[in-house]
């Protein structure tokens, strides 16, 4: 019976590559969603400031709502950061390189198989 390490098995079965790809996709989704929502709210505030002619005052309820939105955006960005760190750790441990290089290598190998 042959004993192979977990790292070798994950690398040969491409399970780690699929996990890295999924983590990078989730990372991109969370970061882009967080940034888009933040920029959308900044755009709304900018239009509001221009239309009113000054910075509007917020009630306590509106401030609480804005703070909860900020916490949501920060949570999405932090989650995206964690997902990228986990993708980096897995790809570094299994393949010895970063996640984007692994995905580029996968894309190149798929293109070679498709063109062959």
Structure tokens at 64: 């609480």
**pLDDT for the residue numbered 55:** 75
Nearest alpha carbon to residue 81 among 37, 39, 41, 26: 26
pLDDT, tens digit, for every residue of 65-92? 888 888 999 999 999 999 999 999 999 9
Label residue 1 by pLDDT band (50, 70, 90). low
CA 65 – CA 55 distance, rounded (Å): 17
Q: What is the mean pLDDT of the chain?
A: 88
């Amino acid at each position: 019976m042959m004993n192979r390490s977990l790292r070798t098995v994950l690398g040969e079965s491409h399970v780690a590559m699929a996990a890295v790809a999924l983590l990078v996709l989730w990372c991109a989704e969370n970061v882009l969603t967080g940034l888009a929502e933040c920029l959308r709210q900044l755009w709304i505030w900018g239009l509001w400031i221009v239309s009113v002619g000054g910075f509007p005052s917020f009630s306590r309820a509106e401030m609480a709502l804005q703070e909860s939105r900020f916490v949501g955006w920060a949570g999405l960005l932090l989650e995206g950061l964690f997902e990228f760190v986990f993708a980096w750790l897995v790809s570094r441990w299994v393949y010895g390189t970063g996640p984007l290089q692994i995905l580029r290598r996968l894309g190149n190998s798929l293109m070679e198989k498709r063109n062959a």
